[in-house]
Amino acid sequence: MTFYQKQLSEFTRDYFAGTTTGILVSSCLGSIAAMLILMNGHAVVNMIQLGVIVVVCMWYNASVIGQLKPKIVFNSLILSLLVSSIFILINIL
């Protein structure tokens, strides 16, 4: 069993705890990324980055609220965390 499959089965088994924690972590990382983007200026490139962060983080929240399948919610969480982390690293360096 791969790491992804193991985490997905754990997430599915304890869905409500996973989604609650996911909303907290996704929102916190997204807000950190948004803060760092805005600290670097208000150019068009920065606004595009900010828009991407907002869309990705809100997609995860919407997938939870919309009660989509656990696999879609889990993949949305992974995408949200990865995109936020990438933009945090881009804007720190």
Q: Tens digit of pLDDT for each residue in 72-87?
A: 999 999 999 999 999 9
Instruction: Give the separation between CA 57 and CA 27, rounded to whole angstroms.
Output: 7
CA terminus-to-terminus distance, the chain:
36
Burial grade of 3 (CB within 10 A; 0-12, 13-18, 19 or more):
exposed
Distances (CA, A) of 34 to 1, 27, 39, 44, 69: 36, 10, 9, 14, 28
- The amino acid sitting at 82 is L
Task: Give the helix ranges, DSSP H, for 14-69.
Answer: 15-39, 44-65
pLDDT band at 1 (very low <50, low <70, confident <90, very high): confident
Domain borders along the chain are 17-92
pLDDT tens digit sequence for 31-73:
999 999 999 988 999 999 999 999 999 999 999 999 999 999 9
Instruction: Give the separation between CA 70 and CA 16, rounded to whole angstroms.
Output: 10
pTM across the whole model: 0.88
State residue 93's pLDDT score. 85
